[in-house]
Every structure is written in C-alpha cells, then in structure tokens.
Structure 1
Amino acid sequence: MTYRTLFIPTLLACYSIAVIAEEPLETIEVYGVRSSIEADRQEIHLTPGGVTLIDIDKLQEASITNLADVLRYVPGVTSSSDAGSDGIFFSSRGSNLDASDFDMNGIKLLQDGLPVTTADGNNHNRIIDPLASRYAVFARGANGIKYGASTLGGAVNFVSPTAHDTSGTEVFINGGSHGLLQERVTFSKVFNENYDGLVTIERKDWDGFREQNEQQRTGIYANFGVRLHKDVSTRFFVTYVENDQELPGSLTRAQVQEDPDQAGSTAVSGNFQLDVETLRLANVTRWNINDTSNLQVGLSIEQQRLFHPIVDQIFVDFDGPGPADPVEVFSLLIDTNHQDVAANIRYQQQWGKHDLLFGANYGRNRVDGEHFRNLNGRPNGLTTLIDNRAESLELFALDRWQFADKWTLVGGTQVVTATRDISSIDVSDDSVRAPSGTFDSINPRLGLIYAVNNNASVFANISRVYEPPTNFELEDEVSQSQQSLDAMDGTVFEVGTRGQQTLNSNLTWNWDITAYYTKLNDEILSVEDPNAPNTSLATNVDSTIHAGLETLFGASFKLGNSNNRIDPLLSFTYNRFEFDNDPIYGDNVLPAAPEYQIKAELIYRAENGFYAGPTLDWIDKRFADFANTFVVDDYTLVGLRAGWSNKDWRVFAEIRNLFDQEFIANHGVRERASEDDAILNPGQPRSFYVGLQASF
C-alpha cells in the first residue's frame, strides 16, 4: 500500500531559517495573538541555559540540502551528512557517540510542538525537512524541559509556515554538483479572517559524490487554519514523504586513500538502502482563555513503511580448510511497518510575577514486520518476526518568577514514565527474545537569571537529565538475553550569558555563551558487533562526564554613511566527553565528537541586496574507538557564497570545500579499531551550487 493515493496536490512550499542570535525578528499578528516566533524569541530570555533560535529564511542565502546544513551554527551541536544526502550524524552535548548512531537518540525532534521522534526516543526513520519549516528552536540539554524533554541532547521544535507568513505563490530551485536538483513550490492563501491554507510540494534528486549514493525524495507539506471563535483557533497538518536513499557504506583508511568516492564493497553487493514512506496527520488547537492564560492541545498520527537492506551476506567456513562450502551465518534486510501516536496539552498562566507552564506529552510506538536475509537488496528467506512497542508519558511544570526587578527564578519538574517491549521470534526454531522494561523518574530543575540591562543577562541552572534506552539499544543488549538495560541519568550544571549591545552608530554585536558540566550514570554505549557489521552491542557504562563550552558571536559593522555593512558570525564549541574512572577505559575520551569545532562566516552586505563572503569549518581530530587507538584527522574547509535578494526574488551561488580537501565527515565506532576496519565516511569534495527563489 502507498499513501500517495490519499493526496490531491493543491498548494505548495515555504520556509524560513537561520540567524542564531538576538537580531530583531518580524512580528506577525495571527488571530489577534502574539505570533509564535516572537513568543519563542522572548522565551529564550526567560531560559537559564543554552537555547538557539534558527531563522530559516536567513540560512537560505546558501544551499540547504539536509538537517546538518541547518544546524551548522548551533553551538554545542556536531552534525554532518554521511555522504551529502539526508542521512546524517548529529550529536548535542555528547549524545549519540557510539556505534548505534543510526538511531540518532538523545535529541527530541518536534514539529509544531508534537514529537516526530518516536516514543522510544529514536530518530532512525525520518529527519524533519528543515525547508518545510518557518523557524526552529534548539533547546540544548535539560533546557528542553519546556517541550517536556529530559534527554541529554535536548529538543528541537520546528515550526511550520502558514499563509499568514507568506500568502501567494513561491517557487524555489537549487542545483549543482553531484546531480543535486531541488524543486519546491508553495501555494498559500488567507481566504478571510477565519480560514487560511498552505501547501508545499517538493522534489529532491541527488546522484551523490560517492558510488551507491543516489537519493530521490518527494514531499508534500500542507496546513489549514480555522478560527472557530475570536479566541479559539485550530490548525490541521498533513505531511507525506517518500524517500528512497542508497547507502554507500563505510571505508577503510586504505580505501579512502585509494579512492574516497568509492562505495564499500558490501554496500554494493548488498545494495544497501534506506527507503521510507511516511504519512503524518496532526492537529493543534489553541484557546486564548483571557489576556493572561491560554490552553493548547495537539494530536498526531504517523504511519511509516521501512525497507532497509543493511547487512550483506556473511559466510563462515565451519569445517575449516577443505572442499566444504562456507555457510551463511548472517545478513539483514529490514521490512517493517511503524505506527506512532502523539498527544500533548499545555496550559500557560500569568499570575502576578509568575509565568506558569503546565504540560503533558504522551507517545506510543509500534513496529511490526519481518527481518530477512539480504541478497543484493532483495529478501532471501525470512529469519525473524518483529513486534516492538514503546510508550512514554511526560508531565512537566515550569514557574518563571520575577521576584525582584532584575532577577528571575526558574523552577521546574518533569515526571516521566516509559515502557519498552521487544518481541523477536527466530523462525528457524520459534525461540523468542523479549526483553522489556519500565522506567520512571522525577527530574527537577532550578535556574536563575539576572538581567544586566534590557539587552543582556547572565544565568545559571542545575538540572537532572534522564533517558531510557531506545528499542534499538534494547534489541542490541550485549548479553542477547531477556535482560533489559538501565536508563541513563545525571546532573548538569550550567552557567552563561546572552545579549546584544550597540557600541556606536556603526557597530552592533551579540553573543550567546554557555558552559556546562554533566555527570552521567549508566550511559548506554554501543560498539559494532564484529560478527555482524552494521549492527551493534549495547551496554550501560557506570560513569561518564559530558562538559563543554558553547559560544556564538555575531556583529554588524556599518561602512561609512551608507547602509553597506560587514556581518561576521562565529560559532565555537569546546567538548570534553570522557569515561570517569572506568574499569576498562579509565578516563579515555568518548569517540566521534571533536574536542573543538569552529564554524564561521564573514559576509559583506550591500544596501542594494547583494551579499558575498567566505565561510570556514575548522574541526579537530576525533577518536573512532573507546580504546582511543584510532585517530580520525582534523580538517579545515573554506567556502564562498554570494547572492542578491529583494522582497520578491533571491538568487545565490555557493562553493563548498574550495580547496578540495579530503576529509572524514563522520565514522563508525569500535571497541578497539584497526586500520582494516571499514568505518570511515569521506566528506564532500569541491562542490558548486546555485539557487533561485521567487514570490508572486
């Protein structure tokens, strides 16, 4: 069954992202209430920790092809595409630093306040298309409590555009190197004061810079708003995505040196793919009860079909030398259906000097289907029947109390209860593996904000993070018994400052600086199973430390008496993620994340709409194993981008990796890696892209 037959394409696409600072943002009144972008911008100043607002319209001055491009300047976040397609690695504050990075756990993704991350905490099957969003808010670490999250990496809420943001027709096209062609059209209309609608249709084609690297994605994103009463509005959302993506696999060090554009031999022979078809329906209703209180409720239902050949045939000669043929012991093709239901309710009340927020999130996930042996990307014999389930309930409360003129005390609590149930039936002997677990925790938070003036503040908080295992991790538990894993928990201390200042008529600068220290217990870490490549073994580690410095600086220098200016932007992240007196690894550094990373740009902006300037990526070396014996080299990339825009038109051109440096974008993780391990994913060579956007 396909879901596309349920759609009659009608209207089309819009988006807006990326200044990550304190610049004034446009305010749009919708149904007589403050727009969500303004509300989120102001809430950042009421958060005693690291939060970044990503204005998507700004980021579209260059080529945006995946979520890693959107997260580029968010401090504290490491993100990169495996091979230039939608498949990415991402980590916030040291989440997801192991061999099960394919489940991309540790960061909760939400769309219009409702989770896209499944109830068990994984993001394996679908990453939100950022260009279908107006803006996003990334609340790192325990600051995600405003969305009900307690994950190590925090939460990201992507907010969809409506016809009130852009009414009319908008066309976008972006293409260039490696066969990239992105086409997007949006139709939107405000029919009257009570009704509005928006539809976006998009198509992405990508040949890739590596073999076995093609991608074709089709998406439809629509929403329709109704004002039921002068104080009550509701909005319906429909998302359909069909994404067919080849996976080029990883390479050994020697293979990278020989030809970084080749695919892994097993990826070709096993025809590795990640093909996902998704249909999501959602509704969000808001009631402005009075001038000081409002109630919001939401519901989403999502269906997915996953077809995923991922492990090639592995043969073992049990008889040793001689004429006997080797016997296949493992290969894997996943063919499963996924059902996700999510609901939430949020009540906000202004009460004197108190700003109160109460909320609840509920999520349910079921995965059923089959695992097969894999023969060149085709099912070759049923091996396992799968029926996995997860539920989560998060209750949360926040109080922002301005107890003195410049002081705000922020107190909060999250209560979480979650269940995980795995059922895996081996069809060869009908044996059942069914680990399960129930996880409960109360996670308090206490923070303080001091307003230095109207434009600057300092803050501090102490909070608890808590994260149960995903079903992927439970399936991969190292003993392969009925045993469960423990949830990860820890305490995070955080201090920082944010603000902006005008030094004179020609110079304005802004900053966002956060330092944090997290002590974790029972962190769940995975290493790749040497007997089944591309699968992993998971276990709890007694104690780890996640600490870091997250900084973002921006400025605007006016040139003379004109409105021409130079705008620099610098994102600097320092990471210290390590084992804490572990009996095996001592105080070794956790793999996959660099100790430091710098992302920067220096853009000249003319008053006629022209802009141009260089970009910089400077990434430190990383380890690819827990033993810290395999080092992945550091790299520095330089790019250039330029363009011109006015109210209705935008054109841009971009060169990435100007000097054609060879580098490793991301990599797998082993317990102790060797030179012969195929774990390296080469990054994008010199590439050129151009784009055009027009509004009518």
Structure 2
Amino acid sequence: MDTKFSNSSGAPRLGRRAPGRASTLLLSACSLAPIGAFAQSDEPSPVATVVVTAEAVAEQTRQQLQAEQALNPGGVTLVDSDDLYQRNVSNLADMLRYVPGVWAASGSTGDSTFFSSRGSNLDATNYDGNGIKLLQDGLPVTTADGNNHNRIIDPLAARYISVARGANALTYGASTLGGAIDFTTPTARDSAPELYLSGGSFGQVQGHASVGTVNGPFDGLITAEGRSYDGYRDHQQQERKGIYANSGWQFSEALRTRFYLTYLDNDQELPGSLTREQWQDDPRQAEAAAVAGDYHYNVQTWRFANKTVWDIGADSHLSVGVSYEDQQLYHPIVYAPPYFSLLIDTRQRTAGTSLRYDLRLGDHQLLAGVDYSETTNKGGNYDYEPGQRGALQTDVDNRADSVELFAVDRWQFAPKWTVIYGTQGVVSSRDVKNTDAASGVLTNPNDHYNSINPRVGLIHQLTPDVQLFANLSRLYEAPDNFELQDDACGCDKALDPMRGTVAEIGTRGSQPFGDKDRWHWDVAVYYAKLQDEILSIDDPDAPGTSLSANIDDTIHAGIEALFGASLALDAAGSHRIEPLVNITVNHFKFDGDEHYGDNDLPAAPTYAIKGELLYRHTSGFYAGPTFDVVGSRWADFSNRYKVDSYELLGLRAGLTRETWEVYAELRNLSDKNYVAFFSVKDAAAPDDAILTPGEPRALYVGTRLRF
C-alpha cells in the first residue's frame, strides 16, 4: 500500500474504472496478496513532490479496504459507488442487490427499506430496523441501543460501502446478529466534481451536484442532493433534500484530520398496507386509513463528525473519531376514530466516539478498538387529527448507551496460513421511561447488558488469488428500546439479550481460464444456534397483535454466494459477456419451541437469486437482461399465512466515457404483481392488512457528468 501515483501534467485526472468491472468488487489478486499494513484512513498521505490524482487516491482507498477484508475469515463484500451509477439506485435495497446473505426490499416509499442480514430483524419489519449497525467512515449512525428507526444512509452519498455479515463485523465495533455496513465518504482527493441526474416512472426525479477543491494540505467537498417521488401507489409522495460536506487538513505526512457535516430533510407520505384481496384487486391503492389519516414519516437530521489519523510509524497507526447526530421525527401513524389515533413527535440525539490502534509486529498484525455511543429520545405520543397534533398520550424519555471494545491478532504463523483470534467486550444499558399522561403511571423497563464475545478464524491462501476461510464466533445483541417498549409482559422487567454461536466456512477469489477470460466468486456457509432471540408472541388481550419476547432456541443457517465472470467473444477481447449472480439460501427456524415447534421464521424468503447477463464493449457500451427469483415467505410465526414466490425480468443498458455516462433501466418487464415486504404477525388471518406491493413495470434513465 505504499505505491505512489503521479500525473506529470499536474492537472487532476478524472477517475474512471474499466467498463467491464462487475457491480460488486470481490477480493482480487491485489487484495489477497500479503499486505504491509492494514490501517484504515480516510485519505492517503501525500508526497510533496508527487501530484496524486483522484483516480489514484480512490484506487488506493479501494485496495486498503479490500486488504482489510482479506484478513477477515468470513463473509464480507465491498461495493464501489461507481457501479451504482450504471443502474437506478434510490434506496438501500438497490445498493444491496449484489451483496449475498442480505435480504433487502423496498416498496412503501423511497427511504423505507426492510433489510435483514443472516436472519436479523425478522419480526420488526420496517420499524426499528435493528440487527445491522450502520456507520459512516467508521463512526456510528445506528443509535446506541441498536435501532435504525429514523435513519437510512443514501448509498449515492458514499464512495465505497463495506458490508460485513454477522460476527464478521467485530472489528467495526458491532455486536449485532446481522453485522455492519460502513459507508466511506467521498472526498475532494478521491472524487472529481460531478453532476448526476436521474428520473423515470412514477414521478421519480433525483440528482446531486458536488464541487470540491484541493489546495496544498487543505481539501473540501460539498454535495447538494434532492429527490422527488410521486410513487406507484396512492399517498406515496416523497420530497427529500440534503447537503453533505467534508473538509480535510494535512498537518504533516503523518497526521491528518477530516470534518464531516450532513443535513437531511425528508418528508414522505405512507400508503399503508393492504389485505390479500386488496392487493390482488388493485396493488396501487393505499390503505384507506392511511389516506384518511394522512400518514407521514417526516425526519429532519443533521450530523457532525470528525476523524483524525496519526501514522505513528511505518507499522503503527492511531485513529480517533467523534460524531453527533440530531433527529426530529414527526410521524402520524394511526387514525381510527373514535377509538384510537397516534402521532409520534420525538427528538433523538446520538453522540459517539471511536478509537482504533493497529500495530504490526513481525508476523502479527494487532488491532484494538473501542466505540462508545449514547442516545436520548425525548418527546411523546399524541392524539392525532389530520393536520394537527392533539393531546399528549404518553411522555417518552428513553436513554441508551453502549461501549464495545475489541482486540484482534492476525498471525501469519506459516506461509499461506493466517490465524485470526480475538475477543469483544460489550457494556451497555437501556432505560425506557414512558409516562401515561392521563394516569401518571410510569413504565420503566431498564437493564444493563454485558458480554464477552470471543472469535477465532483461519485463512489459507491457496493461491495468490484464492482464499479458503473458516471461523467460530459468538453472537450477541442486546434489545433496543423499541423492543422494551413493546415487551409482552407490559411491565418493568427487561428482555434478555440474544446470544449464540456461529460456525462459518467459505472461499473467495478470482481465477483465469483461457487467455482472456476470468471468473470470480465469494461463497460462505454458516450455521448458528441462538438462545433468547427477541421475536414476538400473540397479545392475549388483542389476538393477532405481536409483542416482543425472548424465544428459547432458534437456528439461523444459510448459504451466501456471488459468482461472476468476464468472457471474451472475440480474439481481441473487445466484445465480452459478463454474467453476475447473487444466490442466498436461508434456513431460519424455531428449534423445538413449546408453542411454535420447528416452524420457519417469517419475513425472509427461503431463497433469493438476483442476477444479470451483460454484453460489454471496450467502447463503454453495455446492455443485457436482469432477473430476480425469490422464494416463498411466511408472514407469521404460526406458519399459516404464506406469501408466494415470484420472478421478475428486466433490462438495462448504458454507455460510459471518461467524463460522462448514461444508463437506462427497465424493471419488471411483465408488470408482475408481487409482494415486496409485509408486517409480521403471530398468527395472520387471510383478511389482515399486512402486504406492501412491489414495484410495477418501470423505466428509469440517468446521466452523470464529471468535471
């Protein structure tokens, strides 16, 4: 990672990758080869006599991220945002299309996405979004209690996205069942100024413009973005605008700092859920109560962060970061006069800090870190009349904090063999204070959660381009405050944390066949046994209503595979075929439960296959079909309500040049009526309104200009 890049002309050169690269960057030969250091930094150190281009800096950052992942003995994926501009990406589900092991679906509005990794969040569909820790530049976005209720990161606001599944997210400071997603912010040193605009069906228009400067030790980049969407259902409109800014200062070759500022204002209507009969009759309709009650989900967010990196020596590095985020939620969600109405009006603040220290000692690469975060959520639940907030129902004053410490040694004890061993310590607390406004009665579930989570893994470098890996790890996740609020006991007794053990084996790499052809793969197989998984049981006072409870034993197992290739059609290699397919097989079950037996867990499909078969030309032109094959899912824990499997076919094409690119994407060619996601119940009835329809036939086009 010490290679320097130069541009003899002195002018900045626009960074573009080769047109034929697959949508998800796998660990390639350069990332699987032995590396001299594994420290992560937000930018490389400049050399006074060398002009470093944006293309070179971006490539060096990518190689650093890949090298870090090559030392992880489990399922990890790196996504390059350059690939996201070759298709329509408006939400997290679009971004995660070619990340195996993650089930993500969007269908309510643009920023409402259900996502689950290795069986996390299977009963909290589209609500608290727990189970995956979200970070920006290694600093937390997910709250201290583990929920993502108010915040999903815009994929196009990142330069690279690292997805570490399950226990493989230990070095990200994550104690979650599903792992972590870290979004690396673009800077003026690795990204050229650009203008992006896309639009298409259902009134979707989105775009952003960025400008930046590099002046000696200083650099700065600011991006303004906006999105407008009418939606393919009634009462589905969205308006979002935001500003992303960062600036860096290089004190010396060894010391640098960067400041980040984000502002987002997102207003969106909620169309609600449909019964099966309504969905079959007219999937574009909205739930009647959502229209009558004018349901909304409006969030204003601003975030400040700083990260400072000190290269103490050639083999020793220290990084320190701090972040602060403030969110205001205005959320009319229930309107059923004269019985009940609900508007949630709360303000959530999260402060966090992160420290990482890495040291290379001979054949050992040591990494230690600590993350601390604290969240407060204050406000209330109110009566609601469309257009106005009514009387206070419940005063909300919730708090959480979390400390996650870890230490890992990556020891190359023999040629081609590396053992990775370490442990994570978690110390956290939850404190939910809900006061009934009418009676003054306080409900206060609270507890402290502590755990030591060991991990051991092994990597065998079979060839310079191919790895075999395995690991045995402990899983742990404490409940979030939403789960404590909805506890089945309705008392002050807190839920227990989720615990388990997972074993994983796999392989990843890239291999040539013939003179001009190459294929690549990333495959992992895992099996986890969990205790006290937080799911839901039936409320005896309101049958069909799910409340949080600990389940004694469950099993989470699966196969995650991504395969791709680049195949020459002519002797010169100018014409190529590039297939890419993401295959995820899920086996999520109760394990001898006294009520549910060995039933399947709901929400995630039994299998999901997403792929494409593109023709690419060295001129930058590409075109080809895309496909989705998704298995059936249960909508309840009792396994009485099944959501059918579906298949989708699409097309996409585009043209890339050094300074511009265009794309067009046609989705759901046959205009198939399917279910994107749904609310989970204990025992769903045929007439329950729980279904969210998927996107009908749609056409999107976009263009990107780089200056």
TM-score with structure 2 setting the length: 0.92
Please list every run of 5 or more consecutive structure 1 residues that lacks an aligned counterpart in the other structure.
1-13, 316-327
For 1:43, the equivalent position in structure 2 comes to 68
- SS of residue paired to 1:422: strand
> Pick from 654, 660, 670: which aligns with 1:659?
670
1:179 aligns with 2:203: yes
1:136 aligns with 2:161: yes
Contact 1:22 1:500 in 2 (8 A): yes
For 1:640, the equivalent position in structure 2 comes to 651
- Spell out the pairing of 1:324-343 with structure 2 (5 A cutoff): 328=339, 330-343=340-353
Contact 2:173 2:371 in 1 (8 A): yes
Contact 1:15 1:131 in 2 (8 A): no
Count, aligned residues = 668
> Pick from 242, 247, 266: which aligns with 1:224?
247
Contact 2:109 2:269 in 1 (8 A): no
1:115 aligns with 2:140: yes
Aligned-partner residue type, residue 266 of structure 1: A
**C-alpha distance in 2, partners of 1:520/1:108?**
19
**C-alpha distance in 2, partners of 1:93/1:117?**
18
- SS of residue paired to 1:594: coil
1:246 aligns with 2:269: yes
> Pick from 393, 407, 420: which aligns with 1:397?
407
| Aligned-residue offset at 1:36 | 3.5
For 1:297, the equivalent position in structure 2 comes to 320
> Pick from 305, 311, 319: which aligns with 1:282?
305
Contact 1:466 1:487 in 2 (8 A): yes
Contact 2:488 2:537 in 1 (8 A): no
1:90-131, CA deviations, whole angstroms, 9 ceiling, x for partnerless residues? 000000101454101000000000010000000010100110
| Aligned-residue offset at 1:23 | 5.0
- Seen in structure 2, the aligned counterparts of structure 1 residues 372 and 84 have a Cα distance that, compared at 3 Å, is closer
**C-alpha distance in 2, partners of 1:120/1:656?**
37
Runs of 4+ residues over 3 Å off in structure 1: 14-18, 22-29, 32-36, 527-536
> Pick from 501, 505, 509: which aligns with 1:495?
505
Of 339-348 and 518-527, deviating more is 518-527
For 2:86, the equivalent position in structure 1 comes to 61
| Aligned-residue offset at 1:437 | 0.7
For 1:621, the equivalent position in structure 2 comes to 632
- Spell out the pairing of 1:679-694 with structure 2 (5 A cutoff): 679-694=690-705
- Seen in structure 2, the aligned counterparts of structure 1 residues 347 and 663 have a Cα distance that, compared at 3 Å, is same
- Spell out the pairing of 1:402-413 with structure 2 (5 A cutoff): 402-413=412-423
1:590-612, CA deviations, whole angstroms, 9 ceiling, x for partnerless residues? 00111111000011111111110
- Seen in structure 2, the aligned counterparts of structure 1 residues 24 and 566 have a Cα distance that, compared at 3 Å, is farther
1:345 aligns with 2:355: yes
**C-alpha distance in 2, partners of 1:591/1:530?**
21
1:582-632, CA deviations, whole angstroms, 9 ceiling, x for partnerless residues? 000000000011111100001111111111011010000000000101010
**C-alpha distance in 1, partners of 2:329/2:29?**
42
Cα RMSD after superposing both structures? 2.0
**C-alpha distance in 1, partners of 2:544/2:400?**
24
- SS of residue paired to 2:232: coil
For 1:444, the equivalent position in structure 2 comes to 454
For 1:669, the equivalent position in structure 2 comes to 680
Contact 1:30 1:164 in 2 (8 A): no
| Aligned-residue offset at 1:28 | 11
- SS of residue paired to 2:377: strand
- SS of residue paired to 1:472: helix
Aligned-partner residue type, residue 172 of structure 1: Y
| Aligned-residue offset at 1:377 | 5.1
**C-alpha distance in 2, partners of 1:524/1:489?**
10
- Seen in structure 2, the aligned counterparts of structure 1 residues 410 and 23 have a Cα distance that, compared at 3 Å, is closer
1:671-692, CA deviations, whole angstroms, 9 ceiling, x for partnerless residues? 1111110000000000001101
- Spell out the pairing of 1:160-559 with structure 2 (5 A cutoff): 160-167=185-192, 169-192=193-216, 194-313=217-336, 315=338, 328=339, 330-376=340-386, 378-526=388-536, 536-559=546-569
**C-alpha distance in 2, partners of 1:201/1:692?**
16
| Aligned-residue offset at 1:507 | 1.1
- Seen in structure 2, the aligned counterparts of structure 1 residues 68 and 532 have a Cα distance that, compared at 3 Å, is farther
> Pick from 26, 32, 47: which aligns with 1:21?
26
- Seen in structure 2, the aligned counterparts of structure 1 residues 479 and 530 have a Cα distance that, compared at 3 Å, is closer
For 2:110, the equivalent position in structure 1 comes to 85
- SS of residue paired to 1:309: strand
- SS of residue paired to 2:212: strand
For 2:7, the equivalent position in structure 1 comes to none
**C-alpha distance in 2, partners of 1:573/1:542?**
26
| Aligned-residue offset at 1:32 | 4.0
Aligned-partner residue type, residue 419 of structure 2: L
**C-alpha distance in 2, partners of 1:533/1:165?**
55
Contact 2:637 2:683 in 1 (8 A): yes
| Aligned-residue offset at 1:20 | 3.5
**C-alpha distance in 1, partners of 2:175/2:432?**
23
Aligned-partner residue type, residue 282 of structure 2: D
| Aligned-residue offset at 1:331 | 2.1
Contact 2:98 2:582 in 1 (8 A): yes
Contact 1:99 1:527 in 2 (8 A): no
Contact 1:98 1:527 in 2 (8 A): no
**C-alpha distance in 2, partners of 1:64/1:533?**
39
For 1:4, the equivalent position in structure 2 comes to none
| Aligned-residue offset at 1:266 | 1.4
1:369-413, CA deviations, whole angstroms, 9 ceiling, x for partnerless residues? 111012225312111111000000000011100000011000010
- Seen in structure 2, the aligned counterparts of structure 1 residues 261 and 308 have a Cα distance that, compared at 3 Å, is same
For 1:590, the equivalent position in structure 2 comes to 601
